[in-house]
Amino acid sequence: MAGKKREKADVIWLGNGSRASVPETAARLLPELKRRVRIVAEDFTGQKDMSAVKADYAVVLGGDGSVLRAIHQLGENQIPILAVNVGSLAFLSGLMPDDLIPFLDGNDFRAFPIQENVLLECSLWRRLSDVDARTAKAGPVNERDEVCVARKFAVNEVALLGGPPFEIIHVELSVDGESATTYHGDGVLISTSIGSTAHNLSSGGPIIRQGLDVVVISPLNPHSLSYRPVVDSADRVYELRILNREIFVVTDGDSSLSMLPGDRVVVRRAPVSLRLVRLPERGYYHALREKLGWSGQMEYLNR
């Protein structure tokens, strides 16, 4: 007797169409993919808003940058993401293109193992007296007479960075309302566990296993040797205030927000989580060895 026919899943099909190999790979996979799933929306520009599209999961072609764009396109609609690696550095996408169809054939989408990861919400607050009438209407006003002029999600990190003129910036940090310190240097990062292998790693911060509910606070080129990266809970609220000059608030490489002296940036856990389809055969340390080029070998001494 023939087996029960599997119900098709609804899928959002995304990728980086500007990458040379992605359109070709997408065209090659599409006929077989359509036999197995219903594609309810697709975009290979990285521009379309997918926050209102109802689907079971998203399939993303590309490297880590493509996955980051897809997460921002989904917004609060964080359905599980199956990332297919058509790139070089790919901590988030471990499935190779030729393995996609066999993977779908061998697994029921309802039974996909899902890894939940912290997303950060970054909000920029400005004193009402410092904004024009149009900006004041853009967001809610709090009890401090501040207006929220921007709110964004961050997958990897929130960074406060200086620009021209290049000089030391002074950033005050509070955690859950408790004053922590004032950083003097080139800036500050607040990174997720996923983002720990991005800007955080290159700035000397620690590698954190994906899925852990923590953040890393890393000072950038601090003016004192006593400043060190700190790992803390993702459930705390982190406030950063710039004291001396205009700087940039950068979320996952997007530097469209400027921060004025007296402004506050509030970083907290987002109301939704990043959900990645986990590949059981891909070990965490295997990924580190492969992506970071670790070449050390285990050696045993005969005594």
Catalytic residue among 10, 49, 56, 64: 64
- Using only C-alpha atoms, the chain has a radius of gyration, in whole angstroms, of 22
**d(Cα 35, Cα 94) in Å, to the nearest integer?**
23
Please give the biggest Cα pair distance in the chain: 78
Is 64 catalytic? The answer is yes
Which is nearest to 85 in space by CA: 172, 22, 163? 22
Give catalytic residues, as residue numbers. 64
